[in-house]
């Protein structure tokens, strides 16, 4: 029989070992799935395309970083909210609304060349995301309505709203009725930081934001407040922390960051507003946040890992005609294993014989 015995103190060794164990188990499961699915392709070459090629080829590496940037930014915001026990599951919706709001500004000034244009779009994107998450915060604070359901329902609404905008006010007037906006003006596009690739300044912004958040959580009272609110709500009450403030801040921060990521995606790799904007980043960022154990700097690394699975997944789709949904299975499995392995931090697994 197996039995779980609580540890007196969390095991530091396991804090480091459990992600490794989770990754190993995921790779092992992936291996088994491939053996089952693949007919006449060697599993090792698929593994190479999936996990190694994106790291050694400079084009794929740049694409990996392009995909990691929004995951970092959204995951960072979510990790802050999740710490406080505020479950913003609809970052995808805030990302879309941020993208629409920022793009709308860019499209309004589509023929203007100005240095203030990109900053203005960025602010509009952040405000768009904040507004959208703010709806959930308002309903939670005023009516105690569960933020999980509200943010999620609003995600479906946001995707429909994007489609309505692209067939209506934001459609390219000379675009043959395609549901796409105009291409942004050059001064409305994000600066490229790696010549010849699509890698934009968003990656640097993500790294800076994560360091700021780390410092903020460590040094600022608010960091303490969200930590306590999440782990010991009663203690937070006795300490006189304002519950409502935690809800508002958590949702506004995560919403604002998701909105920022949405605008970066439109003004970066896309260069215009398209129906392809919602690319599931908002949902995948939930995995990113958990894999980072809700640590603002850890988010950078888990985002890279998840981005690797995206790029690798696209590659095996192109090279071996495997469906890209395989990426999603791996991401889901990785999160399962990760959550499961974390039990080793707080508990000891003991074998013992059952007495008859």
Partner 1 sequence: MNEGLFINIIIGISIASVPLIFAAIGELLVERSGVLNLGVEGMMIVGALLGFVVMSHTQNPFLAVFAAMLGGMAIASIFAFLTQFLLTNQVATGLALTLFGLGFAAFAGRGYTEETIQLITAVPIPYLSDIPYLGPLLFSFNPLVYLSFFMVYLVWWFLFKTKQGLILRAIGDNHDAAHAIGHNVVRYRVMAILFGGAMAGIGGSFLSLVQVPIWGEGMTAGRGWIALGLVVFASWQPFRIIFGAILFGGITILQIHAQGLNINVSAQYLSMLPYLATIVILVSLRIRLKNKTNRTVPNCLGRIFHSTT
Give the footprint of partner 1 on this chain (CB under 8 A).
4-6, 87, 89, 139, 143-146, 148-150, 152-154, 156-157, 160-161, 163-164, 167-168, 283-284, 286-287, 290, 323, 325-329, 331-333, 335-336, 339-340, 342-343, 346-347
CA distance 250 to 254: 6
Question: Which CB, 164 or 211, lies closer to partner 1?
Answer: 164
Measure CA 258 to chain center: 8
**C-beta of 213 vs 306, nearer to partner 1:** 306
Backbone angles phi, psi at 351, to 5 degrees: -90, 140
- Taking each continuous run of H as one helix and of E as one strand, the counts in the chain are 15, 2
Closest contact distance (angstroms) between CB of 263 and partner 1 is 21
CB of 166 to partner 1, least distance (A): 10
Question: Looking at beta carbons only, is 153 or 212 nearer to partner 1?
Answer: 153
Query: By C-alpha distance, which of 195, 190, 189, 205 is closest to 58?
Result: 195
Shortest separation between residue 36's beta carbon and partner 1, angstroms? 11
Compute the least distance from the CB of residue 349 to partner 1, in Å: 10
Cβ at position 106, least distance to partner 1 in Å: 22
Q: Token digits for 282?
A: 């908002």
C-alpha torsion angle, residues 96, 100, 106, 107 (rounded to 10)? 140
How far apart CA 192 and CA 315 sit, in angstroms, is: 23
Instruction: Indicate the residue among 100 and 189 with the shorter CB distance to partner 1.
Output: 100
Sort residue 283 into left (φ over 0), alpha (ψ -120 to 50) or beta. alpha
Q: Provide φ and ψ at 6, rounded to 5°.
A: -60, 140
Q: What is the torsion angle, in degrees rounded to the nearest 10, for the CA atoms of residue 165, residue 168, residue 174 and residue 178?
A: 70
The least CB distance from residue 110 to partner 1, in Å, is 23
94 in Cβ contact with 349 (< 8 Å): no
- Whose Cβ is closer to partner 1: residue 129's or residue 268's? 129
Residue 5 or 212 having the CB closest to partner 1: 5
Nearer to partner 1 among residue 214 and residue 290 (C-beta): 290
Shortest distance (Å) from residue 52 CB to partner 1:
22
């Amino acid at each position: 029989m197996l039995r779980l015995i609580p540890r007196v103190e969390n095991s530091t060794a396991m804090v480091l070992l459990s992600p490794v164990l989770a990754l190993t188990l995921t790779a092992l499961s992936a291996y088994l799935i491939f053996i089952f699915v693949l007919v006449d392709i060697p599993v090792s070459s698929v593994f190479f395309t999936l996990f190694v090629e994106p790291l050694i080829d400079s084009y794929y590496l740049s694409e990996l970083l392009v995909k990691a940037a929004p995951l970092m930014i959204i995951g960072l915001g979510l990790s802050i909210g999740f710490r406080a026990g505020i479950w913003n599951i609809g970052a995808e919706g805030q990302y879309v609304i941020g993208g629409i709001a920022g793009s709308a500004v860019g499209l309004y000034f589509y023929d203007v060349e100005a240095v203030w244009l990109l900053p203005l779009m960025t602010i509009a994107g952040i405000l768009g995301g904040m507004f959208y998450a703010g709806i959930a915060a308002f309903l939670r604070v005023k009516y105690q309505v569960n933020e999980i359901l509200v943010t999620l329902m609003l995600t479906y609404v946001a995707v429909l709203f994007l489609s309505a905008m692209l067939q209506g006010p934001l459609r390219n007037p000379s675009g043959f009725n395609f549901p796409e906006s105009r291409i942004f003006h050059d001064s409305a596009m994000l600066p490229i930081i790696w010549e010849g690739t699509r890698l934009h300044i968003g990656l640097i912004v993500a790294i800076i934001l994560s360091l700021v958040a780390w410092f903020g959580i460590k040094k600022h009272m608010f960091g303490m407040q969200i930590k306590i609110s999440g782990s010991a709500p009663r203690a937070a009450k006795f300490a006189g922390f304002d519950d409502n403030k935690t809800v508002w801040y958590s949702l506004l921060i995560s919403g604002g960051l998701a909105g920022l990521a949405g605008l970066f995606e439109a003004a970066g790799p896309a260069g215009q507003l398209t129906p392809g904007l919602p690319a599931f980043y908002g949902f995948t960022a939930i995995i990113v946040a958990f894999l980072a154990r809700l640590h603002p700097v850890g988010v950078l690394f888990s985002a890279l890992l998840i981005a690797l699975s995206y790029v690798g997944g696209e590659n095996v789709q192109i090279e071996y005609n495997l469906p890209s949904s395989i990426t999603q299975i791996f991401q889901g499995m990785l999160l399962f294993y990760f959550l499961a392995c974390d039990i080793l931090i707080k508990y000891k697994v003991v074998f013992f014989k059952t007495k008859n």
